[in-house]
Structure 1
Amino acid sequence: MIVSPSVAERSEAEAVFQMETGGPESVRSALGMNATRIGDAVVLSMRNDPTHYWSKALGFGRTAPVTAELIHEVCAFYRAEGSPQAILQLAPSVIPQDWTEICAREGITAGSSWVKLVAEVDDAVAHADAPNRRQADGLRVARVSADDADEWASVTLRSFGMPEEHYTGMVAATVGRAGWHAYGVWLGRELVGAGNVFHDGDIAEVFGNAVLPHARNRGGQTELLAASARTAAMLGCRLLVAETATETDEGDNSSLHNVLRFGFKVVYERRNWMWQPTT
C-alpha cells in the first residue's frame, strides 16, 4: 500500500496535539506542558515527564520540505522550555539530505523505531465481521461514558506502564470530546482494556489500544480494533492509521502481530530521533 507521509502522519500528529493541549490547566501546569506549531509540525513539550515520552515533534513534511532552519527552530523551542529531552519523529521520505550535519549541530541522535501501519476501512470492517474470526474470551467491548472516564484513563496508562498522577486527567479529558471515540474492554465488571479512535477528516487514528496484563491473550486488543474499524466506517473514513514499536531482539511485539493479522499493512518504519540540550 502506497500512502504519502502527508496522509499517514497527519492524524497521529493532530491526535497527540489535541490530547496534550486539551487537558485541564492544572494538569498542564503540573507537568510543565507547552505546545506550538512550527511549519507543519506539531511540537510538544512536557518538562516534568519522567517517562520522556510526551515531549515530541511530529507531522513533519506534510506541506513543505524539512530544512535545517525548521529543525533549529524546533530545538530552540525545547531549549527555551527547559525540556530535558524530546523525540523528533520524521517519516523516512521527508528527512533532508543534510540530516547528518543537522543532527550533529543540534544534538540529535538515533533512537528506537516505530512502524506506521495503514488499513483500508472497508478491509478492516471485513476482518471485524469475518464469520471465522476468533471471538474474545469472556470480554465485552463498549463505548466509554463520562462516568468511566477516569477509570478508563487509569487502565490506559497502567497498560502501557505509565504513571497515573496528573496523566489520568490528560487522557480522561478526551472522553466525550468532539472527534474522539473511547472504548473500554470489560472482564465481568472489571474494566481491563482501553482504546480510542481519533477522527480526522477521512482518516481514523487507532490510538492507545491496550489491555492490562492479567486480561491479555483473550482477544481484547482485536475487539478494540474491530470497534475502531466499525466506528471509522460509521464516520465515513477511508483509512485507519496506527503506530506501534518494531520488534527487537528482546522479543516479539504482540501488538504489532495483532494489527497485522487484522489487515493493516506496514507503510514505513520511522526512527525516533532523540534530542537533548547540548552544553
Structure 2
Amino acid sequence: MSWDRIAELLELAEAEAVWGYENAAPPSAVEMLGLASKRLGGGVVLSARNDVTKYWSKALGFGFESPVTADLVAEITGFYREQGALFATLQFAPAVLPPDWDSIREKEGLTEGGTWVKVARLAGLVQSPETELRIAEVGTAEAEQWASVLARGFGMPEEGIAEMAAGVVGRTGWTAYGAWDGDELVAAASLLITGQVAEFPGASTLPGHRGRGAQSALLAARARQAAAVGAKWLSAETGKPEVEGANASLNNMLRTGFEIRYERQNWIWRP
C-alpha cells in the first residue's frame, strides 16, 4: 500500500472522529458551542464559534477525493466567515499540499500554528504494564461521567464540551473506555472503528491519577477490540512537543509499537 494511501486512511479516520463528536452533540451543546459542520471536497469543516479552547473549529481530511486548490481553501474559510467564527485550524497531510500552497495560504491569511504528529501501527495486540486500575467499557448510563473525566483530563471546560462528547457513547462504531480506581472513574478514552482503521480519538487522565498506567492500559484495551473486529490499522494523533520526549501521550504510543508516520503543520485562520 502506498504511503499516500496510508495517509488517506489515517486522515479520513481522524476526520470522521471529529465529525462524530460534533455531530453527536445534543441541541443544548450545539447552541452553547455554536456548532456547525459541512462535508466538502472529501473532507469535513467544523465550526465551534463559542469554543474557548479553540480546539473544535477545524477542517481536515482534504486532498484525497479532490486536490487542495485555492478555490477549496476559499470555500473552507468562507464557511467560517458565514458562521461568525473567530478562529479555526486547517489540517492537511503534507503529501496533499500543492506546489502553490504558499501563495494560497498567504491569500487566505493562514499562519503557522503548532505541529501535530500522526502515529499509526498495524493492528495487533499491544502490551502494557500492569495497573491496579480497573479497565472496562463505558455504557450509556455512565456517558456523562465519562465525558466529564475526558474534558477535565484535557483541561477543557465541562460545560458544553462534556455534553457534546457524551453523545458518542453508544453510537455505531464507537466504544468508550474508562479506568476506575475503586468506584472513581479517573481516566477516559474513545475508539472509533471506521473502515480499515481503528482511530483512537482522545484519551485523558485526571491530574491526580497520572503515572499509574491508565493510558497504556486503555491503549491495550482498544487495540484488543480493534484486532477482534478485523481493523488493519491503529491510528492516533497528538501534538509534537517542543522538547523531545515531553509529550507523555506520544511516549505511551511509541512504547506500544506506534510509529510516527508524518508531521503535520497546523494552519491557523482568523477573520
The TM-score normalised by the length of structure 1 is 0.93
Identity over the aligned pairs, expressed in percent? 48
Deviation at 1:8, TM superposition (A): 1.4
Separation in structure 2 between the aligned mates of residue 267 and residue 36 of structure 1, nearest angstrom: 27
Matching residue's letter, 1:63 = E
Please point out which of 148, 160, 178 is paired with 1:184. Answer: 178
Matched, 1:99 2:101: yes
Instruction: Determine helix, strand or coil for the equivalent of 2:202.
Output: strand
Amino acid at match of 1:145: G
Shift of 1:99: 1.1
Assess if the C-alpha contact under 8 Å between 2:178 and 2:188 holds in 1: yes
| Mapped pair 1:163 → 2:163 | no
Match of 2:254 among 231, 250, 260: 260
CA–CA distance in structure 2, aligned partners of residues 250 and 120 of structure 1: 24
- Unaligned runs of at least 5 residues, structure 2: none
Given candidates 80, 83, 108, the residue that maps to 2:82 is: 80
Whether the 8 Å CA contact 2:245–2:251 is kept in 1: the answer is no
Show the 5 A alignment for 1:55-66.
55-66=57-68
Name the counterpart of 1:134: 129
Q: Of residues 45, 48, 53 in structure 2, which corresponds to 1:46?
A: 48
Q: Contact 2:129/2:217 (CA < 8 Å) preserved in 1?
A: no
Counterpart for residue 264 of structure 2: 270
Cα distance in 2, alignment partners of residues 82 and 4 from structure 1:
35
C-alpha distance in 2 between matches for 1:22 and 1:106: 30
Q: Which residue identity is paired with 1:87?
A: T
Instruction: Tell me the TM-score normalised to structure 2 length.
Output: 0.96
Q: Distance in 1 between matches of 2:200 and 2:101?
A: 30
The residue aligned with 2:119 is: 117
Cα displacement (A) at 1:134:
2.0
Task: Return the letter of the residue paired with 1:106.
Answer: E
Q: Tell me the number of residue pairs that the alignment of Structure 1 and Structure 2 aligns.
A: 269
C-alpha RMSD of matched pairs (Å): 1.4
Q: Is the 8 A contact 1:6 1:63 kept in 2?
A: no
Aligned partner of 2:230 in structure 1 is 236
Matched, 1:223 2:225: no
Match of 2:15 in 1: 13
Q: Residues of 2 paired with 1:208 and 1:69: CA distance?
A: 32
Which 4+ residue blocks in structure 1 deviate beyond 6 angstroms?
none
Q: Secondary structure at the match of 1:266?
A: strand
